[in-house]
Amino acid sequence: MNKEVDLKFTDFLGKFDSLGKGEWITCYSSHRNDSEEWSTFYCALISNDRVAKSLDDPSWDLSIGNGLPGFSFHFENGKEIGTYYNCSDKGVVPLVFWRSFHGMKDGYHEILEEFRHYFNLYEDRKNNKFIAIDDNGDDEDVILMSDKEILIKLRLIKEFLAVKNMRLALFFDFNRFSEKTIEELNIKEYHEHKKGGDFVYSIGARNWDSFGDNKKKSQGFLMGKKLISGLTDFEPKLFDRDNKKFVDFIIGIDENGKEIVHTCDEEKLANFFGKNKGAPYFVAPVFFKKDVLTKYYSQPEKYTVEDGYLRCGGMWGLRMDNNHSDFVMAFLGDLGHLSHNEQLYWRSFNVATKEKMSYTAWARGFEAKFTDPEKSDLFFKQKFASFQEEWEKKFGWKFFRPLAKEDEHHFKTLCVPLTNEQKEFDEQVLSLTKVFIDSLSEKDLEKGLTMASGSKGIDKLDAFLKSKNVRFNGMLEFLRNLQELRSTGVAHLKGSKYEKVKSAFSIGDKDLSKVFDDIMIKCIWTLNTLESHFIKR
């Protein structure tokens, strides 16, 4: 045992003013060092009309394990009367519940349902935490839970207190022990109550009857509470435009070659009905480097890059022109609908150019025409989906097997590389072969055919075509080369076999993004060929 145990709790009281301040609040903790200290923290919401009563007594307003609804019973004229009660009826609400099942099942802690629902918190049971998802779609850990401790972000608690018009009573209870008597520690026995505008506690020290435990000869005890208030300036708003920030984007180049910039705040933009005459239009095109989309392709569980649209789950979306050969374009006013952080991200890829939007974006946006995508990767995805549907409708089976859930990202992130990096090229080759070769419905292709042992997907496709008296030698050669490119360039260390297949795709003679673009075009040609011969006939 530490012989210098602080029975007067000067360490804790020295930091008492900071209790309930900072990023996190300890809403529950229980630690017990049998030889030196027992400490417990807990909390409860209390109504404002209970504050005065609460501060009159250092004992806790609510004990751990209490606070659940039930019945109370009394007798009137010899008759038993049961009355349903809820702890909130008395102005006390647990923020953290302890659920106990009398030893029949393991107990566990539970956060007040209204608190979880109000902030729409996601429970990550694997990692014992709750996550808040902000308007930008970003995750934030706001509750961290373990058997011994529960931490909750102060910011959420203070907003909830403002909404409920309540206080948070933060309870604490300490017992410390020394192997010396208080006389040996030069401490007089005492027991005092301390009270302030937002706290009350009972503190004291005395000798301890150890009942055979010679390591505990004196005790210091401290029990009480501190009240935490809610936000004083909280005001719920449907749309908080007053506090929203807007970024200035480059929208063009002037006659002197200087960048023209303007805010994306739509309230300061012109429209076709006379608003803000002389200002740039809401639909003023703003151009960005293509790799602005890298962030979104790299997180397929969160973002979806579609033909002409970027989506963050159901949180937000952005119209865009991703059919342009060299840039990504978005309208100035649409950028203003993004969060400030997202605007800043896009601004970092903003470029000054005199380029115009793609024909596809123009036709769709200003001529109301249904237009196929121009980019090979976007067109391939559209063609792939329609081919799958039409083939199954005609033959009763899918030409390509659906990807397993764990592999769905290969299709979702499939695109012409946004950079000329080898790593990105290899990743896209892997994804394409997963989608286009590994997913061939081999069992359906080989039905009724005699196949050599060890035959793979392309061999079975070849046999299927021959059984239909069809010869697509160029198509099969392309597929075999693509498979070889994956096998020698991605799945294994690059060597002499990779050097041979490079020539089939002009790797080294073209940028890798152009090489992959050509591959995508040939995949589209493959689908068109199969469609023309088998579906359209």
In tens, the pLDDT along 436-493 reads: 999 999 999 999 888 777 788 999 999 999 999 988 999 999 999 999 999 987 766 7
Nearest to 177 by CA among 332, 34, 28: 34
Question: pLDDT tier at 69 (50, 70, 90 boundaries)?
Answer: confident
Q: At what angle do helices 473-486 and 422-436 cross, to 10 degrees?
A: 130
65 in a structural domain: yes
The answer to whether the Cα torsion of 248, 249, 254, 259 is positive or negative is positive
Q: Count other Cβ atoms within 10 Å, centred on residue 202.
A: 17
- Spatial strand order of the sheet with 309-312 comes to 303-306, 309-312, 316-319
Same domain for 223 and 258? no
More confident residue, 212 or 378: 378
Spatial separation of the C-alpha atoms in residues 286 and 335, rounded to whole Å: 9
> Where does a domain end: 343, 366, 389?
366
Same domain for 360 and 447? no
- CA distances in angstroms from 523 to 384, 411, 474, listed in the order given: 9, 14, 12
What is the number of structural domains in the chain?
A: 3
537: pLDDT strictly greater than 70: yes
Q: 306 pairs with which residues across the strands? A: 309
3 in a structural domain: no
Same domain for 224 and 246? no
36: pLDDT strictly greater than 70: yes
Same domain for 256 and 352? yes
Please spell the DSSP secondary structure of 25-89, one letter per residue: EEEEEEEEETTTEEEEEEEEEEEGGGHHHHTT--S-SS-TT----EEEEEEETTEEEEEEE-GGG
Lowest mean pLDDT among 83-87, 95-99, 144-148: 83-87
Question: pLDDT tier at 536 (50, 70, 90 boundaries)?
Answer: confident
Which pLDDT score is estimated for 215?
Answer: 77
Sorted by sequence, the CB contacts under 8 Å of residue 43 that are 6+ apart come out as 25, 27, 28, 95, 96, 168, 169, 170, 171
Lowest mean pLDDT among 8-12, 77-81, 321-325, 368-372: 77-81
2 in a structural domain: no
Average of per-residue pLDDT across 391-396: 96
Same domain for 321 and 276? yes
Spatial separation of the C-alpha atoms in residues 27 and 96, rounded to whole Å: 7
Lowest mean pLDDT among 127-131, 137-141, 201-205, 468-472: 468-472
Q: Which amino acid is at 502?
A: K
208 in a structural domain: yes
Same domain for 360 and 384? no
183 in a structural domain: yes
Lowest mean pLDDT among 116-120, 229-233, 238-242: 238-242
Same domain for 260 and 214? no
Average of per-residue pLDDT across 249-266: 95
1: pLDDT strictly greater than 60: no
Average of per-residue pLDDT across 32-54: 91
Same domain for 164 and 272? no
371 in a structural domain: no
Same domain for 309 and 268? yes
Mean pLDDT, all residues of the chain: 93
Same domain for 35 and 173? yes
Same domain for 56 and 131? yes
Spatial separation of the C-alpha atoms in residues 360 and 375, rounded to whole Å: 10
2: pLDDT strictly greater than 70: no
Average of per-residue pLDDT across 334-347: 97
> Where does a domain end: 326, 344, 366?
366
Spatial separation of the C-alpha atoms in residues 249 and 331, rounded to whole Å: 10
Average of per-residue pLDDT across 314-343: 97
Which pLDDT score is estimated for 491?
Answer: 64
529: pLDDT strictly greater than 60: yes
529 in a structural domain: yes
Average of per-residue pLDDT across 94-104: 93
316: pLDDT strictly greater than 60: yes
Q: Which amino acid is at 518?
A: D
Give the per-residue SS3 of 431-478.
Answer: HHHHHHCCCECHHHHCCCCCCCCCCCHHHHHHHHHHHCCCCCHHHHHH
> Where does a domain end: 181, 202, 228?
228
Same domain for 190 and 338? no
Q: Whole domain around residue 211: which residue ranges?
A: 10-228
How far the first Cα of the chain sits from its last, in Å, is 90
Nearest to 423 by CA among 435, 433, 431, 412: 431
